[in-house]
Each structure stands twice: as structure tokens, then as C-alpha cells.
Amino acid sequence: MEQLLTANVANNLYWFGRYLERVESTLIEVVYHFDRIIDIDKNSGKEFYKKLGIEIEYENAKDFLNAAVFGNHSSNLYQLISYAKENAIICRSNLDTEAFGSVIELADLLKHSSHSSFSIDCRFIDYVLSLISEIWGELTRRQKRNTSDYFLRLGKLVEKVDFHVRVQKDKELSLVIMDEIDKIVTRLAPNSEFKPHNQTDSYEVIISSINGKIKKIIVEEQ
């Protein structure tokens, strides 16, 4: 792990991992609530986005897909993947070449679809999810881990916990992920001391702790 990174590159690797994970996690939830809108509860999608602090409107399940992917809100998936693309461009030299190309392909796909009369369906979302899986695979296929790989992984895991907090998923799983986060931050900042967490800690305490750890390890290169 002898690779040296500037704070700017490390920060962009971290946020690239976060945005890519956010797109993937959101799409998985979108497909789940799409099915619920059809079969169980028409307001299921609204309740999900309310947990994210977003109000969306839709007439039916198909309209929900369009609102989720291209709607005018902060979790607009085209906008999120655009952020990931910007992060990838800044840290391009630290990314797998094929993974970088796949990110550009995915961003271009969503850009084209957002400016056309394209009709979104679950097959399209499944295809986007398959592209994201390919990107993760391309990013993790190296046998030897560099410092950049740890920042990418850290971004992915932090977003998983943050997403779980916002949509009120199982806290036990969040704590399992926190253990892996602690292993990474200890490797990146071996001289720092980080407090472990348990079931009695609130989600707010856990997220605050994560943010404090990130601030300690993403520092300006001396």
C-alpha cells in the first residue's frame, strides 16, 4: 500500500465510491417499490423517497420509474452518475482503464435517455444495474490492493451505512459494515484511535463517527 495520493484525489476516489453505491442502492429500492406500487400500495414510492427527504409525484408504476430516474430532485440518478463521472475524471490515473470507460458509458447512456422520448422500464434499470456490477468488478479485480482501492471501498461502505440510516434498514447490518469501515480507516490511519459501536448507539452517532474518521484520513499531503 505504498501508493501516495493527494487529498484531492483521495477525496474524489471516496466520493466516486459513494455516488456509485448510491445509484446502485437507490435503483434496487426503486425496483422493489415499483413492484409494490403495482401489487400492494400505490404510495409505496412516495413513502420511500420521503425517507430521503424528497417529495415525488407519479400517476402509476411506470411514471414512478421516470420520476425516480430523471425527476427534478436531489436523488435524480442521471445527476448522481454525472457526479460520479466528474470524480472519476479527476482520479482517472488511479482507476482501472476499463472501469473508467464503463463509467463514461453509463453516464452517456443516462444522458441520452434523459433527453429523449425513451420509455423507462425494469429491463432498462436491470441493464444499468448490470453495468454498475461490471464497474465494481473491474475496480476490484487487482490482486494487490493500492491505497486508492481502500478509498473506493471506504466510499462504498460509508454510503451503504448512510443509505441504511436514511431508509431505516436493519441496524445490525450497519454495525457489521461499520466493522469493515473501522478496519480500513485503521489501515489508512494506523495512529488514530476509533471508538467501536454497538446496538445502543443511534444512527446519528454512528454517522457522526464515520464523518469524523473520514476527516482524519483525508488530509493534505505533507
CA dihedral over 124, 103, 81, 16, signed as positive or negative: positive
Mean pLDDT of the chain: 85
pLDDT tens-place string over residues 30-78: 999 999 999 899 999 999 999 999 999 999 999 999 999 888 888 888 8
Specify the pLDDT at position 7.
84
Average pLDDT over residues 178-200: 76
Specify the pLDDT at position 221.
42
Specify the pLDDT at position 198.
67
Asked whether residue 60 is assigned to any structural domain, the reply reads yes
Asked whether residue 71 is assigned to any structural domain, the reply reads yes
Specify the pLDDT at position 188.
80
Give pairs for 183-189: CB < 8 Å, separation 24+.
184/150, 184/153, 184/154, 184/157, 185/154, 185/213, 185/214, 185/216, 185/217, 187/1, 187/150, 188/147, 188/150, 188/151, 188/154, 188/217, 189/213, 189/216, 189/217
Into how many domains does the chain fold?
1
pLDDT exceeds 90 at position 215: no
Asked whether residue 203 is assigned to any structural domain, the reply reads yes
Specify the pLDDT at position 222.
34
Asked whether residue 69 is assigned to any structural domain, the reply reads yes
Query: What is the span of the domain harbouring residue 117?
Result: 7-217
Asked whether residue 1 is assigned to any structural domain, the reply reads no
Specify the pLDDT at position 194.
65
What pTM was estimated for this model as a whole? Answer: 0.89
**Phi/psi class of residue 53: alpha, beta or left (left: φ > 0; alpha: ψ in -120 to 50)?**
left
pLDDT tens-place string over residues 133-175: 999 999 988 767 788 898 999 999 999 988 888 887 777 777 7
Distance, in Å, from the CA atom of 158 to the CA atom of 162, rounded to the nearest integer, reads 6
- Report which of residues 195 and 214 the model is more confident about: 214
Q: Which residues contact 77 (CB under 8 A, 6 or more apart)?
A: 23, 26, 27, 68, 69, 70, 110, 128
Distance, in Å, from the CA atom of 186 to the CA atom of 213, rounded to the nearest integer, reads 9
- Report which of residues 197 and 90 the model is more confident about: 90
Distance, in Å, from the CA atom of 111 to the CA atom of 33, rounded to the nearest integer, reads 24
Asked whether residue 222 is assigned to any structural domain, the reply reads no
pLDDT exceeds 90 at position 128: yes
Asked whether residue 82 is assigned to any structural domain, the reply reads yes
